[in-house]
Amino acid sequence: MESVPVLPVLKPQRHTNPLRLRPGFPSFQAPQANRSAQQNVSVEKDRSWLKDSSLQRRRPLRPSVSVLPPMRFLQPTVTTSQVYAESAAGMIKGTVKSENQDCYFEQSHGSCRAMAICDGHGSTGAAVSSFICQKLPVLLFRKAAKREIQSMKAALKASMEEANQLLKESNVDVKAAGSTCVAVMAIDNLLICGNIGDSRAVVGRLIDNIWAVYQLSWDHKPEREIDRILAAGGEVAGSKTGRGGPMRVYVKGELYPGLSMSRCMGHTSAEKAGVISDPDFQAIQLTASDKFLVVGSDGLWRVFSSMEAVRFVSALYLSDPAGLCKALVTEAQRRWLQKGSTVDDITVIVATFASK
């Protein structure tokens, strides 16, 4: 009878992928011989398998794709689709003013789009705001060569500073006149806003069917920067001429400049009161939740809160995008007339966003 050779007993092979051996995975089973030793292994959060020398590999750890697939976030690109604008002169005692001191522009160059609103004040306020709207887009497109946020911010900052310097060197009288400036640059899904004064830009967001506001700029009001104004030799008080209205900036002990903002372009005499022309910046990356941008002069924001403006635009931006700016200006005028016979100049820009 032929003898049957005795085959050696093969030890079970352990899977060498540490992610499959990690405690808590269904395939993990500690060998009986090491069960007691493993109980003494210190556990540090989820890295206990690194403490066990029997589970370590000599080669670099390379997780299996089947165990840990790479995560990919597919975010649709959101860009500025359409831009609409409307501007209306204010009223004095129910009569429409002969001059609108607001000015705006909306221009594009390649994939870069720029828009801004300038709200002039003083005897030559209309000339000041018009000068800025003529110079600023030229400077912006000349300087904005790259698409990164930092380079956009640098281009916008340098352009606003240069426009202000050109204004002071021009033949426009800016001793007692100036302008706000809120400018927004859009490149693909990037928005960057530079703001000087009390004009404002906000983004309307739809999150779980609930409208929300993303504040893209903040008003430069005297009460917000009172410490800096006082340190510069100015003072913040109500109207010294009996006009009423918001808090204003004055040179200490004087009746000028009486500005209802703490920053502006031009208006060189207001520098003695601590009024500066330094812009603030805010940059965001648009997502699918962002639906539109609203930019307005303070004629809008003195009768509309940011949330009220977003709710108003949200009801029209799909059904009547071309008419929503005029409707918003008309409603702002109605709210002004409810309070009296004076209406400020009102300018509105609305830009809608769409997935690319």
What was the pLDDT predicted at 3? 52
Query: At a CB cut-off of 8 Å and minimum separation 6, what does 170 contact?
Result: 131
Mean pLDDT of 105-109: 93
What share of the chain has pLDDT > 90, as a percent? 67
Tokens of 267: 């208006």
Number of domains in the chain: 1
- For the ranges 128-132, 143-147, 170-174, 326-330, the lowest mean pLDDT is seen at 143-147
Helix (H, G, I), strand (E, B) or coil at 346: strand
Mean pLDDT of 197-219: 97
What share of the chain has pLDDT > 70, as a percent? 78
pLDDT at position 32 over 70: no
Residue 22 resides in a domain:
no
Residue 304 resides in a domain:
yes
Mean pLDDT, all residues of the chain: 83
pLDDT at position 295 over 80: yes
pLDDT at position 290 over 70: yes
What was the pLDDT predicted at 123? 93
Cross-strand bridge partners of residue 349: 85, 295
- For the ranges 11-25, 148-162, 167-181, the lowest mean pLDDT is seen at 11-25
Residue 143 and residue 140: Cα distance in Å, rounded?
A: 5
User: Regarding predicted confidence, which is higher, 67 or 140?
Assistant: 140
Residue 334 resides in a domain:
yes
- For the ranges 43-52, 70-79, 287-296, the lowest mean pLDDT is seen at 43-52
- 243, 246, 247: which is closest to 235 by C-alpha? 247
Residue 131 and residue 181: Cα distance in Å, rounded?
A: 12
What was the pLDDT predicted at 244? 73
Domain that residue 95 falls in: 78-355
- Stated length of the chain: 356
Residue 345 resides in a domain:
yes
What confidence category does residue 31 fall into, taking pLDDT thresholds of 50, 70 and 90? very low
Residue 168, Cβ neighbours under 10 Å: how many?
Answer: 13
Quick: pLDDT tens for 75-92: 557 888 899 999 999 999
What was the pLDDT predicted at 318? 93
pLDDT at position 38 over 80: no
Residue 224, Cβ neighbours under 10 Å: how many?
Answer: 16
Residue 173 resides in a domain:
yes
Residue 19 resides in a domain:
no
Residue 9 resides in a domain:
no
Contact 61, 330 (CB under 8 A): no
Quick: pLDDT tens for 175-201: 999 999 999 999 889 999 999 999 999
Residue 261 resides in a domain:
yes
pLDDT at position 34 over 80: no
- For the ranges 150-154, 193-197, 204-208, 253-257, the lowest mean pLDDT is seen at 150-154
pTM: predicted TM-score of the whole model, two decimal places: 0.78
Query: At a CB cut-off of 8 Å and minimum separation 6, what does 9 contact?
Result: none
| CATH code for position 150 | 3.60.40.10
Cross-strand bridge partners of residue 268: none
Mean pLDDT of 1-24: 45
